[in-house]
Amino acid sequence: MTSRIPGADEFTSRPLPREELLRQISPALPLHQVDDEQAEQVAALTYEVVRHRLWAITQEMGETLRRMSGSHVVTESNDFNFSICDELGEQVQVGTYNVGLIGSMDLAIVWTLRNRSDNPGITEGDMFLCNDPWIGGGLHQNDAAILAPIFHEGKLFGWTTAIAHQIDLGGPRPGSFSPSAQDVFGEAVPTPPLKVVRGGVLQRDVADAWVRRSRLPHLVGLDLRAKIAANKNAAEQILRLIAKYGADTVKVVMRRMMDDAERRLRAKLTNLPDGTWTAVGYQEQSQTGDRGLHAIKVAMTKEADRLVFDFRGTAEQTGIINCPYPGLRAGIVFTMLPLLAGDIPWAAGGLMRCFEIITDEDTITNASFPAAVGKGPFGPAWGAGNLVAEVLAKMLDAEPSHRGDVQSICNGTTDLCVVSGVDVRGGGSKGFVSPVFDVMAGGYGAQVYHDGVDTGGRLIIPSARAPDVEMTEYLYPLVALWRREQIDSGGPGRQRGGMSGSVCYVQHPDQKGTMSLIVSGTGKVANQNVGLAGGHPGNSQLDLVVRGVNDPQLAQATAIPGDLGELGGDIEVLPCEGESDLGPGDALYLHWQAGGGYGDPLLRTAGSVREDVRQARVSAAAARDVYGVVLREDGDVDATATGETREELRRRRAAGAGLPEASLKPIGALDPDGLVLDGARRLDDNLAVLESPDGGTVVCLHCGTRIGPLAGSAFVAALARRDGAPTEAGPHIWHDPSEYVDAEIVFRQLYCPGCLTAVHSRVVPVDHPLPADDYRS
């Protein structure tokens, strides 16, 4: 008998060509496969019936997990997902819950086939437990997956997977998130695929070892059994489907589902312009004590029917803001599915054939073991997804028939805050760990023809929900002073970004002692929720503790406090990555991210701004200072003052950009569906190209100014530029970046040099590169 000690590189996953994977699977594992000729032999009606049944089985897995789980992460917030896969792990159908969680499930199955098919073997009734981010069983260690093979007549027919976020899986800090971790050994333990069910029997030793690591073993144990049950129920229904239609027929349908999804996405890509688009974003504070900004870069090239995402040049791995390759891939998947494949059935295995990833090793988006990766999913994976959303939007905006699909960046990231302590209500003494999931109610980005959805959820979790406040108060010793939509939070633009919200918690009156806080949030300085085509970013994320709140005042309060100023006390600004506490006299305030705007705010109709003010979406001050709309005391628009204010704002732009006021051209009427200039090809809301053999000239759609050559994006140098204070983007932007980082932060706008219409608006470090490659070449 021989033994081996695996190296770190053996615990990594990458896509493999089908034939290479087949060579690496043990011959002792028989596979059910169909050939190409069989794939043409299923009637259209049978195909649709079986396809829809597979979709329904996936959704029913969600109901099974929700009914059995005791975790409010599952029952209240839908932070889980499922998939049905073929025998080699390609995903045939995925759920509509947290899409990021299934972005790498196929990689985990591939790894299991390569490394478990000979020893300990993959047999009927087995299931594998995995939470290893390098393998793909979750984006960080808190995401725990169950991988379940399905056998028919002795052959491996397919797989089902169930994955959910676990509140605590050990490590030095409650919630398994440690902002000061130096490497993965300072976090929860990653577990490669481990046989937790053998021959249909739960392995008690494995289950006991699994829950032993957690501060909340009962919840983790319930979720383990719930995921096992969801997989078991799904397998039984798939086998009933096989009994009715035959194994070959069901497998042919599965293959055709993926082939159809691939064909439809490739057809859509073929109709979109070829070119390369780039974007740069930042992660703030790599760990406790860090004050840096760490760049993520992407260049997306679209050629014919395929996409290539090139992340070379991204910052080296550091601190806790790292994700391995499966997390990067998941970031692309959870962005592409809703934005580019919203009208295509989510047979993810087929959709993922349409893109390629290029990336450097040892970076924050492709971290090598043993990097700390606790922030992987809501740090660099989500950050990479934001940049993918940005470049996809630029590509879609350049094709008139797809402008309705364009969307500015949604809430950009999550605001992680874990509250933990001992619940002594009712004379008891019970430990608790509670991530604050109110932050699920993020704002959606603005679109070309519509404002963003206010507190609509999260793009990456189509079925996301903010928990019922009363349920949170029932489960944990917290009392909510308010949870409300936050005025001015949506990114200003011709179309406004969707608003986000804020929540303020204090300890329950019966609670004694101090609770622990762990916080992690990007987007407090360099906004993740950027706007497009001159639209401003959504609000800065903000976490505060108000110390010394007047307890008697709150106990006797007859009205909801209007704002933080009514609480009294002293405000402590929490870092991007750090730890704090919440005492009996303190209040915890979280303000999460909204959606970015689309288009120059000065082009928003005055009537729309008036309605925003009436509905408390925009303040009267922001209406005047950002949108240039002045309202009378009765709430109606003062047309004369509005015209004068907008002209004054344009003159300020000219002065800041070093242009003479006398050179300003008038803005013409925007034609949202066509082109203002004959023979021009639109790039976005503001710019078009007059085609010519030398590559064409970029022109302004509003005033007709010929800005410069498109070739090499040379026209960008001819745009007027102005750097101002971050708060010039609006009252929703944090006023003091030095609270978080050492870099100088500015609100940078680029304008048409003729009419001073904003074509690019971003809160960035002063050395942020100009968007020289942001436009189709």
- Asked if pLDDT for residue 231 goes beyond 90, the answer is yes
Are 113 and 193 contacting, i.e. CB atoms less than 8 angstroms apart? no
For the chain, give me the number of helices (H) and strands (E)? 15, 27
One-letter amino acid for residue 90 of the chain: E
- Asked if pLDDT for residue 775 goes beyond 50, the answer is no
Are 376 and 133 contacting, i.e. CB atoms less than 8 angstroms apart? yes
Q: What is the pLDDT of residues 3-36, one digit of tens each?
A: 445 566 677 777 888 899 999 999 999 999 998 7
Q: What is the pLDDT of residues 134-193, one digit of tens each?
A: 999 889 999 999 999 999 999 999 999 999 999 999 999 999 999 999 999 999 999 999
Locate 467 and state its tokens: 């928990």
> What phi-psi label fits residue 568: left (phi over 0), alpha (psi between -120 and 50 degrees) or beta?
left
pLDDT, greater one: 712 or 335: 335
Paired with 495 in beta bridges are: 598
Q: What is the pLDDT of residues 56-96, one digit of tens each?
A: 999 999 999 989 998 888 988 889 999 999 999 999 999 98
Element (H, E) at 48: helix 44-68
For the stretch 740-744, contacts whose Cβ atoms lie closer than 8 Å and that sit 24 or more positions apart, written own/partner, are 740/284, 740/285, 740/291, 740/524, 740/525, 740/575, 740/576, 741/284, 741/285, 741/291, 741/292, 741/293, 741/525, 742/291, 742/292, 743/292, 743/293, 743/525, 743/767
- Cis before 584 (ω within 30): no
pLDDT (0 to 100) of residue 470: 92
- Asked if pLDDT for residue 121 goes beyond 60, the answer is yes
Are 208 and 27 contacting, i.e. CB atoms less than 8 angstroms apart? no
Query: How far is residue 433's CA from residue 420's CA, in Å, rounded to a whole number?
Result: 4
DSSP code for 258: H
Q: What is the pLDDT of residues 742-758, one digit of tens each?
A: 999 999 999 999 999 99
- Asked if pLDDT for residue 534 goes beyond 50, the answer is yes
pLDDT (0 to 100) of residue 676: 52
pLDDT (0 to 100) of residue 8: 60
pLDDT (0 to 100) of residue 40: 66
Percent of the chain with pLDDT over 70: 95
What pTM did the predictor assign? 0.94
pLDDT (0 to 100) of residue 460: 85
pLDDT (0 to 100) of residue 551: 64
Query: How far is residue 707's CA from residue 686's CA, in Å, rounded to a whole number?
Result: 12
pLDDT (0 to 100) of residue 568: 86
Range in 52-66, 225-239, 497-511, 670-684 the model is least confident about: 670-684
Alpha helices in 409-550 (DSSP H): 469-475
The number of beta carbons lying within 10 Å of the beta carbon of residue 332 is 25
One-letter amino acid for residue 523 of the chain: G
Q: What is the pLDDT of residues 453-503, one digit of tens each?
A: 999 998 888 888 899 999 999 999 999 999 999 999 999 999 999 999 999
Range in 50-64, 587-601, 664-678 the model is least confident about: 664-678
Locate 31 and state its tokens: 């596979």
- Asked if pLDDT for residue 417 goes beyond 50, the answer is yes
- Asked if pLDDT for residue 554 goes beyond 70, the answer is no
Instruction: Name which of 258, 230, 226 is nearest 160 in CA terms.
Output: 230
Locate 94 and state its tokens: 């995925």
pLDDT (0 to 100) of residue 7: 60
- Asked if pLDDT for residue 1 goes beyond 60, the answer is no
Paired with 91 in beta bridges are: 85
- Work out the mean pLDDT of the chain and round it to a whole number: 92
Give mean pLDDT, residues 530-559. 86
DSSP code for 598: B
Burial 19-38 (b: 16+ CB within 10 A, else e): eeeeeebeeebeebbbeeee
Distances (CA, A) of 132 to 112, 514, 772: 12, 33, 38
Strands across the sheet with 501-507, in order?
478-485, 501-507, 587-591, 542-547, 570-573
pLDDT (0 to 100) of residue 552: 53
Residues 6+ apart with CB under 8 A from 770: 716, 717, 721, 750
- Asked if pLDDT for residue 297 goes beyond 90, the answer is yes
Give mean pLDDT, residues 684-697. 88
Would you mind telling me the total number of residues written for the chain in this entry?
A: 777
Give mean pLDDT, residues 387-406. 94
Give 154-197 as a 3 state SS string.
CEEEEEEEEEEECCCCCCCCHHHCCCCCCCHHHCCCCCCCEEEE
The dihedral through the CA atoms of 253, 259, 263, 266 has a sign that is positive
Question: In whole angstroms, what separates CA 602 from the centre of its chain?
Answer: 29
DSSP code for 453: P
DSSP code for 120: I
What φ, ψ does residue 35 adopt, rounded to 5°? -95, 175
Residues 6+ apart with CB under 8 A from 44: none
Distances (CA, A) of 600 to 468, 559, 605, 761: 37, 38, 11, 9
Range in 488-492, 512-516, 694-698, 746-750 the model is least confident about: 694-698
Question: Residue 39: pLDDT band by 50, 70, 90 thresholds?
Answer: low
Query: How far is residue 723's CA from residue 749's CA, in Å, rounded to a whole number?
Result: 7
Query: How far is residue 88's CA from residue 114's CA, in Å, rounded to a whole number?
Result: 10
Query: How far is residue 135's CA from residue 10's CA, in Å, rounded to a whole number?
Result: 9
Give mean pLDDT, residues 388-409. 94
Give the CA diameter of the chain: 89
Query: How far is residue 406's CA from residue 720's CA, in Å, rounded to a whole number?
Result: 25
CA dihedral defined by 678, 682, 688, 693, rounded to 10 degrees? -80
Question: In whole angstroms, what separates CA 184 from the centre of its chain?
Answer: 23
Query: How far is residue 174's CA from residue 84's CA, in Å, rounded to a whole number?
Result: 33
One-letter amino acid for residue 74 of the chain: V
- Asked if pLDDT for residue 274 goes beyond 70, the answer is yes
DSSP for 321-385, written as a single string? ----HHHHHHHHHHHHHHHHSTTS---HHHHGGGEEEE--SSBTTBPPTT---TTTIIIIIHHHH
> What phi-psi label fits residue 488: left (phi over 0), alpha (psi between -120 and 50 degrees) or beta?
left
Locate 167 and state its tokens: 């509140």
Percent of the chain with pLDDT over 90: 81
- Asked if pLDDT for residue 442 goes beyond 50, the answer is yes
Q: What is the pLDDT of residues 629-669, one digit of tens each?
A: 999 999 999 999 999 999 999 999 999 999 887 677 887 64
Give mean pLDDT, residues 353-364. 96
Question: Residue 565: pLDDT band by 50, 70, 90 thresholds?
Answer: confident
Only one residue has tokens 């073997």, namely: 121
pLDDT (0 to 100) of residue 427: 81
Query: How far is residue 250's CA from residue 256's CA, in Å, rounded to a whole number?
Result: 10
pLDDT (0 to 100) of residue 13: 74
